[in-house]
Amino acid sequence: MQHTNHIYFVGIGGIGMSAIARYFIAHGKRVSGYDKTKTLLTETLEQEGMYIHYDDEISLIPTDIDTVIYTPAIPADHKGLNHLKTLGLPLMKRSEALGLLSNDKRSVAIAGTHGKTTTSSMTAHVLKVGGIDVSAFLGGITADYHSNFLIGKSDVVVLEADEYDRSFLRLSPYIAAILSMDPDHLDIYGDKDEMVAGYKAFAGKIRDNGSLIIKTGLLNKFTLNELAELSKRNINVYEFGVNEGQIQLSNIGVENGKFVFDYQGLGHHFQKVFLNMPGRHNVENACVAISAAILCGVDEDKIRKAMAEFKGIQRRFEKIVDQEDFVYIDDYAHHPSELKAAIDAAKTLYPDKKITGIFQPHLYSRTRDFVEGFAAELDKLDEVILMDIYPARELPIEGVTSEIVFDLLKNKNKTLVTKATLMEVLKDKHPEILMTLGAGDIDTFVPKIKEYYSSK
């Protein structure tokens, strides 16, 4: 794409899209785009030199663009995208652009239903601390670098390999990790088996002589012929897990408010690695980051330093208020497994505190598909505040509202709210630990909630 001068993004404010937009502006290209809403991220992109408009009007699209990149989440009736399709310009999905930018590099791609953003950000941080001038396209804003994009001069690039719309099949990684294959995005895949087939196809995209790091148990999904094909291409397969697999975690505990663990694998044995991120799920994420770093040649001292210092990602168990008598945590959890990870981490860190969770379900289809799982995980909270479903790209589904989750909750300490009533309801609550959970626009309430409880 060296001959491209002006790239236009349809959906530029998306976390994956904005990382690619930042790549191009960092390489001296003109960048413009459309997004539905102005956010803190789009305002930052504008400050970085990008022109962004927020109305779907053809007249606002610059006339001198020569390439269009769009997100598959854009609705089919979008006027701007449909107009651009008539102009004969090169059009590509976000995943195609990411493949073009990374497939001639030594890429490390992190896949899985959950944990991708934290693990890819952690991996990029360990490599950077380890002396590798890495580039990275991430699915969240890192607290260490205040960005979802890192630009480096080496040929190593870290990628979040997104399963939505089968995007990860555009990548050709040198090192790939699969953290989990829990069912999700069934609106795309249809059923769990088809989704698992997508992950197996992703493993098949690893380059010859590359490596696959995969959670124990997931190899059972592969046929003998599929595993033989990986072996034939000299792809090294490493299973990781707690006290099992070729790469093992053990002695997981909490010391001085930090998780600590032992790591053994790839010819190394690290005792008492301290992790500045809560939760056993993040210990497993750290295992993948450490393994990728070892495969890239980072030494033990640098790995230990990076793990102890890693500050995390915005909206991944992010402590907004941390006081002795009140803690407020914001988390992106929008799948039952992610709710489990976030709530379990809070209960581990604060075993004697009352935990109140505000949850905003994301997508009608996901709420319908996992209604029992959502109820089971939310029941672990001492108090549940349940918001309306955030629709994102979807139209309503008859009979699917937050009430189907609410009615399954066994916890009697529960309240159903709307965006309009949430702040009023909170005035009657006195939580010790408060969590906001969800991937919709619940994050717009974070500053309001912080201000309210900070002023009390």
The CATH number of the domain holding residue 28 is 3.40.50.720
Residue 453, phi then psi, degrees to nearest 5: -75, -25
pLDDT of residue 76: 85
**What range does the domain containing 206 cover?**
103-309
Angle (CA) 10-36-109 rounded to 5° is 50
Question: Left (φ > 0), alpha (ψ -120 to 50) or beta: where does 9 sit?
Answer: beta
Write out pLDDT tens, residues 294-353.
999 999 999 999 999 998 888 888 889 988 889 999 998 999 988 998 999 899 889 889
| CATH code, domain carrying 289 | 3.40.1190.10
What is the C-alpha to C-alpha distance for residues 434 and 437, in angstroms, rounded to an integer?
Answer: 10
Same domain, 54 and 189: no
Residue 1 lies in a domain: no
Write down which residue in 292, 309, 326 finishes a domain. Answer: 309
Same domain, 109 and 134: yes
Contact 326/403 with Cβ under 8 angstroms? no
361: tokens are: 């379900």
Same domain, 263 and 173: yes
Write down which residue in 287, 309, 331 finishes a domain. Answer: 309
Same domain, 165 and 240: yes
Residues in contact with 231: Cβ distance below 8 Å, sequence separation at least 6, in sequence order: 237
Write out pLDDT tens, residues 373-412.
999 999 999 999 999 999 987 889 999 999 999 999 999 9
Residue 364 lies in a domain: yes
Residue 148 lies in a domain: yes
Mean pLDDT within 16-29: 94
Same domain, 111 and 67: no
